[in-house]
Amino acid sequence: MCVRRVRLLAGILVLIAPVTVPAAAESADAGPSPAAAPAPPAPVTPGRPHGAPYDPHARLGPEVQLRIALQHQAEGRPREALAVLSAAIGNHPDQARLYAVRGSLLLEAGRVAPALADLEQAVTLDPDDAEALTNRAQAYRRFGRVEQALADLDRALALDPALLAARFNRGALRYGAGDYRGALEDFDHCVALDPHLPGPYFNRASVQDVLGNDQAAIADLKRFLRISRNEDWNDQARQMLRLLENPKGVPATPGPEPLGHGGERRGNAR
């Protein structure tokens, strides 16, 4: 029986592609480290018409500025992270990675329109950035531009077949479009790439359920519950598991309903 018919299927999990920054030593334009930055000039006297605030990062290379921004983000200072990235883009407007990272952080914060603008610029400057393509696909999806999102994910996986976020998100889109065989293939790849990540097991169980493979769905849900630390998703998995193991207690209802974007959640269900 199909658990999804009783509307107990949790929304598809969504991963945002990770941001990777090359080591400063590998970049010719990385510039001096923050510790080697020059001391700031004397404070600007109030009222000076041409005085400008001092930017301590202005003389740093883009890779170092990326690291500073990501440090802010990791320590819970997203506003400062975005400010550093905006200043870095002003200093280095031709650096695709700056737009890609700022777009990723904006997307994570739910600011989809400016995120898409940044990711469009990142892909324009570097069409072979698989992570930027993956995140642009997420922005397209949130605007309902599913065909463009799928095209970006196909391109990202052609560039980097091991990019788990692209594989996972394509599986989610295929699932929502009713391409259950394609979704199953993608989630199989996700499990092979990282067997310790909970999300793919949950989503693969959902696909197996729709395909009528109850025992496979049960096995995936049990594996998910062993490794997941997200109690909200664990509750959904337990409900699905009870229904799959006791189908006679569930009244049938007609036809599966399409998965709505409003029911989706972000995160990796850890």
Looking at residue 19, what is its pLDDT? Answer: 53
Segment 147-174 mean pLDDT: 95
Q: Provide the strand spans (E) within the chain.
A: 13-14, 265-266
Looking at residue 6, what is its pLDDT? Answer: 32
Mean pLDDT of the chain: 78
Domain ranges of the chain: 1-9+182-249, 18-24+58-162
The model's pLDDT over 7-46, given as tens digits with 9 standing for 90+, comes to 323 444 455 555 554 433 233 333 333 333 333 344 444 4
**Which CATH number is correct for 18-24+58-162, 3.10.20.30, 3.60.40.10, 1.25.40.10, 3.60.15.10?**
1.25.40.10
pLDDT at 222 over 70: yes
pLDDT at 96 over 80: yes
The model's pLDDT over 48-59, given as tens digits with 9 standing for 90+, comes to 444 444 455 556
Question: Do the first three CATH levels of 1-9+182-249 and 18-24+58-162 match, i.e. the same topology?
Answer: yes
pTM for the structure as a whole: 0.74
Domain 1-9+182-249 belongs to what topology? 1.25.40
Looking at residue 123, what is its pLDDT? Answer: 97
Between residues 9 and 100, which one has the greater pLDDT? 100
| DSSP one-letter string for 194-262 | -TT-HHHHHHHHHHHHHTT-HHHHHHHHHHHHHH---HHHHHHHHHHHHHHH-GGGS---SSPPPPPGG
Looking at residue 56, what is its pLDDT? Answer: 56
Looking at residue 3, what is its pLDDT? Answer: 52
The model's pLDDT over 175-196, given as tens digits with 9 standing for 90+, comes to 999 999 999 999 999 999 999 9
Segment 193-209 mean pLDDT: 94
Looking at residue 39, what is its pLDDT? Answer: 37
